[in-house]
Amino acid sequence: MGSNEVVVVTGASSGIGSATAAALGQAGYRVALGARRVERLEEVAQTVESAGGSAFAHALDVTESSSQDSFLAAVRAHWGPIDALINNAGQNLSSLVAEATDEQFRSDLETNLLGAMTLTRRVLPEMLERRRGDILFVGSDSATRPRTWQSAYSAAKAGLEIFAKVLEMETEGTGVRSMVVRVGPTGTEFGNQMPKARMPEILESWKYWGVLRHLHWMPAERVARTIVDTLSVPLESAYPTLVEIQPGGRKREFES
Ligand SMILES: NC(=O)c1ccc[n+]([C@@H]2O[C@H](COP(=O)([O-])OP(=O)(O)OC[C@H]3O[C@@H](n4cnc5c(N)ncnc54)[C@H](OP(=O)(O)O)[C@@H]3O)[C@@H](O)[C@H]2O)c1
C-alpha cells in the first residue's frame, strides 16, 4: 500500500476507528469513514482534513445490506476503486449467558462478525480483478482469551479471526491480503455499553479467570499506529497476517 490510496474505515466515528482515520490521513491515504453517527463522522473528517489529509464521510450501518451497498456506491462515486477495507466497527452488549436475550446475541454477532464478512464479500471481487487490495480486521484478544460477560462478543471475534484466515488462504498469490490486528484493552467509548452497576462483579470475574491483569488501557492513537504500520507493509514475498498489541503492564494497580 502507498500514499493516496483509498482506505475504508468502518466504525470511524469514535475510538480506534477515528484515531485510525486521523493516522491514515496523516500518512497520505484518502480515508472513507463509515458509521451510524454521521455528525460524529463529519467531525472526524474535518479533523483529518484540517491536518492536511483527505476524508469522505458517509452513513454506514454494517448490519444492513442496503446501507453497505449505498455506502460503497458513495465511496466509489467519490473516489473510485477501494484499495483497502479496515473492518473496525464493533460493539459489546455485555451480559451473562443466563441473562442475555436473543437480540443481544444476534446484535453482537451481526455487528462484530457478519457485518465484517458481508462488507468484505462486497469489496473483494473488485480487488481480485485489480489484483490488489488489503482487508484488515480489527480483532480482539477476546478471540484467544475469552471473557465472562462477553460470550457473544468473544465468539464473534474468534469467528472473525477464522474468517480472516480462510480469506488469507483463498486470496493467496492474488495480490489481495487479509490481515488481523488483534487488540488488547484500549481506552475508548467501548466500555460505555457495559452495565455500570455490575462492573465490580465483572472485574472480579475477569481477575478470577486471569483475563484482567491490570487496569491499564492503551490510547486509541497507539493502536491506530499499529493498524497503519501493518497496512503500510509493502506487498512483497511476506507480510504480517496477524499482529497483536497489548498495553504494557502496571501490575501495581492490583497489588496496592
Ligand atoms: N476498546 C477496547 O478495549 C478494544 C479491545 C479489543 C478490540 N477492540 C475493537 O476495536 C474496534 C473499535 O472499538 P473501540 O474500542 O474504538 O470502541 P468505540 O469507540 O465504541 O467504537 C466503536 C465504533 O463502531 C461503530 N459501530 C458500532 N456498531 C456499528 C454498526 N452497526 N455499523 C457501523 N458502525 C458501527 C461505532 O459507530 P456508530 O455508533 O456511530 O455507528 C463506533 O465508531 C471494535 O471492533 C472492538 O471490538 C476494542
pLDDT at residue 215, as a whole number:
82
Ligand 1 within 6 A of CB of 151: no
**Within a domain: 254:** no
pLDDT at residue 256, as a whole number:
45
Secondary structure tally for the chain: helices H, strands E: 9, 9
Contact 231, 86 (CB under 8 A): yes
Give strand ranges (E) for 149-210.
Answer: 176-183, 186-187
Ligand 1 within 6 A of CB of 188: yes
**Within a domain: 238:** yes
**Within a domain: 235:** yes
Site to probe by mutation for ligand 1, drawn from 14, 31, 72, 161 as the one with most ligand atoms within 8 Å of Cβ, is 14
Site to probe by mutation for ligand 1, drawn from 10, 13, 107, 154 as the one with most ligand atoms within 8 Å of Cβ, is 13
pLDDT at residue 236, as a whole number:
79
Atom 42 of ligand 1 has which residue's CA nearest to it?
Answer: 11
Rounded to an integer, what distance in angstroms lies between the CA atom of residue 8 and that of residue 55? 10
**Within a domain: 108:** yes
Boundaries of domain holding 222: 6-243
Ligand 1 within 6 A of CB of 247: no
**Within a domain: 249:** no
Atom 45 of ligand 1 has which residue's CA nearest to it?
Answer: 90
The tens digit of pLDDT for each residue in 37-58 reads: 999 999 999 999 999 999 999 9
29 catalytically annotated: no
- Between the CA of 234 and the centroid of ligand 1 the distance, in Å, is 27
pLDDT at residue 1, as a whole number:
47
- Between the CA of 36 and the centroid of ligand 1 the distance, in Å, is 11
**Within a domain: 250:** no
Residues of the chain with pLDDT under 50: 1, 253-256
pLDDT at residue 252, as a whole number:
52
Per the structure, the count of domains in the chain is 1
Rounded to an integer, what distance in angstroms lies between the CA atom of residue 135 and that of residue 176? 8
pLDDT at residue 248, as a whole number:
77
Ligand 1 within 6 A of CB of 113: no
Contact 163, 116 (CB under 8 A): yes
CATH of the domain at 30: 3.40.50.720
**Within a domain: 222:** yes
Q: Which residues contact 151 (CB under 8 A, 6 or more apart)?
A: 95, 97, 100
Ligand 1 within 6 A of CB of 186: yes
> Hey, which residues does 134 pair with through a beta bridge?
84, 177
Atom of ligand 1 nearest to the CA of 36: 41
Q: How far apart are the first and last CA of the chain?
A: 46
Tell me which residue of 189, 161, 164 sits closest to 176, measured CA to CA: 164
